[in-house]
A and B are shown apart, each in its own frame.
Chain A
Amino acid sequence: MSGPPLTIALPKGRVFEESVALLARAGLPLALPSSSRALRHQQGELALLELRNTDVPIYVDLGVADLGVVGKDILLESGREVYEPLDLGFARCRIALIRPRGAEGPVARVATKYPRFTRSYLEAKGMTAEVIYLSGNIELAAVTGLADAVVDIVQTGETLRANDLCEVEVIAPSSARLIVARASLKLKRQAIRPLIHRLAQLTAATAAAELGVLGYPMDPGRS
């Protein structure tokens, strides 16, 4: 397929590999770039940008990349105005409120790497807790008492079990999303629209079924 030049923003790591594989199955002439120090991989008319996941929505929102793949958790935090037409079904996890097992005291401080999302969650719950922004190993904040609870993603729950933590509430499910720049979807629709349709067919079986909304289904066990 030869179409207009497309720039695709992908987060480095496993999602990068899975995204390249999926986009190739959907018909884009892409292959996993050989490991190198390159940050921008040009393959014919296609350019792949290897980014930190939180930067993917920025590149797409500003139209520097035409499309991208990123977790819903990152999108919820970013608040960027990008089109989010598809749930690609992989990188599934959930954003949860996590506390030490048996903790029943009030939640006065919440540590997270999703401060914006956490603030709006707390507001929706009518909680006034302070939000502490951390950038890694968030669970440690709950283990050490830096915070009374943390808001973080949970994939298998093994880290939680190993640290005697438990999920008090699942706040939102997350998985990899296809995102598209607002102008690109229109100006390069001859290439992007059929791509979305093919990706939709490929992911149809897995999508939809278990998706919830930005709802807060369970009580967070406030005291």
Chain B
Amino acid sequence: MPIIPEGTRYVLPPEWERRESLRQSLQEHFATWGYQPIQTPALEFYDPLHPLAERAFKLIDRDGEVLALRSEYTTALGRLIRSDLSAGQLPLRLSYAGQLWLRDQISELGRMREFSQVGVELIGPSSPLADAELLEMAAGALERAGVRFQLELGHPGFVHAVLRSTGLPEAALADLHRAVDGKAQPELAALLDRWSVSGCKRADVLRLTDLYGGAEILPEARALCSTDEASSALDWLQETIGLLGPSDLLLDLGMSRRYGYYTGLTFRAHTPDLGLPLLGGGRYDAGIPGAGFAIGLERLLGALGEPPVSPGAEVLAADLASARWARSQGHRAELAHCPPAQLIDEARRRGARWLAQAGQLVPVRA
């Protein structure tokens, strides 16, 4: 038997220290925007309608009820908002940080079965301004973390509008969405053949896989499809981008991942330092409007590279009284567990720069 289950890992110093300080720094950043941290239970009731129901770990409770380990925060916060926070004044601004579990994940670089996210939800307003708030905050968070990144915006509603303009039944659109999201031209062409979509409708759908880049692709997208649904999606995007001001935002108007879940603008952050997105989020106005994003903490750490070497003990204290004194002076002091004659050797071995003894600090030469 392996020592720990596949897709889990021990986090050792100095990584844990760095990770905790990153988490804290991100949540502090969110707090400066008025987002209050909360926590939800890691044990949830299994709900077949949960968007990740199939992929979650399940447990049997003592009364036979099926439980699931938390697999994402958004749904959990949705429940909180409809229960204990239902009388809360909108807009609600919440931030969270914690572990999540996915049973089916292939365990590898950036896709562990146990992983951590730090994120926010903005509940109440549904407008380009609300999305701009989240985007600005997301960019600020990644800047604060010190990682190289570029934000990318999309709108599954636009893809849906273009696909709907073919007149095909909703049931046929799921396969098309998947092909568009994967930029799979050959599959898309074959699906359109199968459904006998031809002419400019066909050309429009095929164009979706090439609609990515900077803001220059918006006019191209406008030329594609002029239904109200498509135009209002593009208007929303354009207004949001306008609110953010000049930036190097990327657009991908063929992005339609989880289109049935997100109802509005979606976004993610790419980094040249890791193959997987650092951050993902979007708008899901089902019932109470809400939008948010989550940063993958392990991915962020992966993109930042090796943690700095952890410093050794700063001070080695000869006895309890010296330890008390050194700590009161603001030093990090480790208590010595060795005979007095070996104190200097012990200090060198522990990497301490000072020895605290009888109320004073004695420098330790290497």
Contact = CB atoms under 8 A, between A and B. Distances in A.
Contacts of A200: 185
B288 to A, nearest CB: 31
A184 B272 CA distance: 8
A124 to B, nearest CB: 13
B132 interface: no
Given A63-B274, A186-B212, A186-B250, A84 B190 contact: no
Interface residues of A, number: 31
A212 B189 CA distance: 9
Given A63-B276, A184-B275, 19 more contacts: A62-B275, A63-B274, A83-B183, A84-B183, A84-B184, A84-B186, A85-B209, A86-B185, A87-B185, A182-B275, A183-B274, A183-B275, A186-B252, A186-B270, A200-B185, A208-B186, A211-B190, A213-B191, A213-B194
26 contacts: A61-B275, A62-B110, A62-B275, A62-B276, A82-B182, A83-B184, A84-B183, A84-B187, A85-B184, A85-B185, A85-B209, A86-B186, A177-B186, A182-B275, A183-B270, A186-B150, A186-B212, A193-B210, A200-B185, A211-B186, A211-B189, A212-B190, A213-B191, A213-B194, A214-B187, A215-B194
Contacts of A183: 270-272, 274-277
A86 B209 CA distance: 11
A187 B213 contact: no
B152 interface: yes
Interface of B: 108-110, 150, 152, 182-187, 189-191, 194, 209-210, 212-213, 250, 252, 270-272, 274-277
Instruction: List the 4 shortest-distance A-B pairs measured between CB atoms, nearest first.
Output: A63-B275, A87-B186, A83-B183, A213-B190
A85 to B, nearest CB: 5
Nearest to A88: B186
Contacts, number: 75
A187 B150 contact: yes
B186 A189 contact: no
A74 to B, nearest CB: 14
Contacts of B270: 182-183, 186-187
Interface string A54-65: 000000011110
Nearest to B194: A213
A181 interface: yes
A61 B277 CA distance: 11
B213 A193 contact: yes
Interface of A: 61-64, 72, 81-87, 177, 180-187, 189, 193, 200, 207-208, 211-215
Nearest to A210: B190
Contacts of B191: 213
Majority SS at the chain A contact face: mixed
Nearest to B111: A62
A189 B274 CA distance: 16
Given A84-B182, A186-B150, A189-B212, A62 B109 contact: yes
A213 B210 CA distance: 21
B269 to A, nearest CB: 10
Contacts of B185: 84-87, 200
A154 B110 CA distance: 36
Contacts of B276: 62-63, 182-183
B286 to A, nearest CB: 25
B275 A181 contact: yes
A96 to B, nearest CB: 18
Contacts of A180: 183
A25 B213 CA distance: 25
A215 B213 CA distance: 33
A93 B157 CA distance: 37
